[in-house]
Each structure stands twice: as structure tokens, then as C-alpha cells.
């Protein structure tokens, strides 16, 4: 997962709460916010999975999110 895919996934799943999720929610296991973890070089995929765990996202949200629709 690339950083852009991570940010797209956060926007898709959390909408108006995206800023709060990125900047205020401290993720257990990473011990920092998603934004701080990105800045520290933690892989976006690891942050996404920690975010899914913390916010009780369904399994379907964990894989393949953030990808753009294929061009037709």
C-alpha cells in the first residue's frame, strides 16, 4: 500500500472524520497517531491495519482499499 492509497482509504472509510482519525487517534501497537507514524516511516499498510483494528473495520475493509478503479 502506498501513502496515496492509504490516504484515499482513510478518506473513503472515514469521510469527515478523516482528519481526526489521522491526527488525533493514537493507535495501540504503533504508539502514535497515523500522521506521526507516516512521518516516522512506518509502512502505510501497517498503519492501515492498526487503524482497522482500532476502529473495528470489517475484514472487507482491510485488503485492496485505496486502489483506484481500473480505467476502461
**Whole-number pLDDT of residue 7:** 92
C-alpha to C-alpha distance for 67 and 39, rounded to whole angstroms: 21
> How confident is the model over 40-52, as pLDDT tens digits?
999 999 999 999 9
Question: Per the domain annotation, does 30 fall within a domain?
Answer: yes
Domain range spanning residue 48? 3-61
Does the residue 40 lie in any domain? yes
- Is residue 16 assigned to a domain? yes
How far apart CA 18 and CA 29 sit, in angstroms, is 20
Least Cα distance to 65 among 15, 19, 13, 14 occurs for 13
Instruction: Tell me, yes or no, whether 17 lies in a domain.
Output: yes
pLDDT at 68: 65
H/E stretch holding 9? helix 3-14
Task: Give the model's pLDDT for residue 64.
Answer: 63
Is residue 68 a part of any domain in this protein?
A: no
| pTM of the predicted model as reported, rounded to 2 decimal places | 0.83
Domain count, the chain: 1
Which residues make beta-bridge pairs with 26?
A: 33
The answer to which of 2-11, 27-36, 61-70 has the lowest mean pLDDT is 61-70
Amino acid at each position: 500500500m502506498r501513502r496515496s492509497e492509504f490516504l484515499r482509504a482513510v478518506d473513503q472509510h472515514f469521510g469527515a472524520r478523516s482528519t481526526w482519525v489521522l491526527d488525533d487517534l493514537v493507535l495501540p501497537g504503533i504508539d502514535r497517531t497515523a500522521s506521526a507514524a507516516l512521518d516516522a516511516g512506518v509502512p502505510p499498510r501497517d498503519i492501515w491495519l492498526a487503524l482497522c483494528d482500532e476502529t473495528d473495520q470489517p475484514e472487507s475493509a482491510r485488503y485492496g482499499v485505496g486502489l483506484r478503479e481500473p480505467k476502461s
